[in-house]
Structure 1
Amino acid sequence: MTAFWDVLAATAILLGALLALTAAIGIVRFPDTLSRMHAAAKPQVVGMVLVLAGAVIRLRGNVDIWMLVLVGVFTLLTAPVIAHVVGRVAYREQRGRDGLEMVGDLERRDRT
């Protein structure tokens, strides 16, 4: 039974590392900020949660598991907020460069 848990932990860690690698490649390869934001937010967070889950499976019975759980929870709570803020800033910055002189929805909401 120990071999099963070791294989499951190794699989989760490898899948998480693969997702983090694809996120890093996406950040480098994508042309604009909004595309890079998607690559940074989605697969990187899921990859890190998989790596943490693999580490929790491997360290079962250890006291350090709760620290890994806290890292995963805080990442899941903060990553969407960071992606939202980066998206808003990118939207505001790109609007001026693209020649869009119209006032966007985000700016109208900020004034009210």
Structure 2
Amino acid sequence: MLEWLVYILVLVGVFFLFIAAIGVVRMPDLYNRMHATSKAGTLGVGLILVAVAVFYQELSVAARALSTLAFIVLTAPVAAHALGRAAYLSGVKPCEDTYIDELAGHYQANHKLESVDTEATQRRI
């Protein structure tokens, strides 16, 4: 019975990794590709690591697998955000279907975020 749980976890994890791979090929721009890989890839790798922990049933293996899972869950969104911000500041344009660019006009030439309402910020300080 436990083997079936491992098979299901690995199969679902591989499915999500496959979805991430399709997202890299099919998405129109960098930002959508990063979204597909960071979400689906994290979930896929996470499920496979949980399957490893369940399959071996040893404390040392489970601790390593779950600590690796925690590291991936904590760092993948941060890395995707940093890459997306660097791409935006480098001038990588979103696809034509992106109607609203919420960051347009908010960054100075030195890449520091400008406040939209500086007077309200000054009053709060």
Band the TM-score falls in, shorter-chain normalisation = 0.7 to 0.9
Please say if 1:80 is aligned against 2:95.
no
Deviation at 1:62, TM superposition (A): 4.9
Distance 2:20 2:45 in 1: 11
The separation in 2 between residues aligned to 1:15 and 1:103, in whole angstroms, is 39
The CA RMSD over aligned residues, in Å, is: 2.3
Q: How many residues align?
A: 104
Structure with more relative contact order (C-alpha pairs < 8 Å, separation 6 or more) = 1
Could you tell me the percent identity over the aligned residues?
31
For 1:110, what is the secondary structure of its paired residue? Answer: coil
TM-score (norm: length of structure 2): 0.73
Separation in 1, partners of 2:79, 2:29: 17
Q: Name the residue aligned to 1:44.
A: 41
Structure 1 unaligned spans of 5+: none
* Over 4 Å off, 4+ runs: none
Change (3 A) 1:87 1:61: same
TM-score (norm 1): 0.81
- Structure 2 unaligned segments of length 5 or more: list them: 115-125
Q: Does 1:27 align with 2:24?
A: yes
- Matches of 2:113 and 2:34, distance apart in 1: 26
Opposite residue 38 of structure 1, the aligned amino acid is: H
C-alpha deviations, 1:24-73, integer Å up to 9, x for none? 11112212000001011100000100001111111113522211111101
Which is greater in Rg?
A: 2
Letter in 1 for 2:64: M
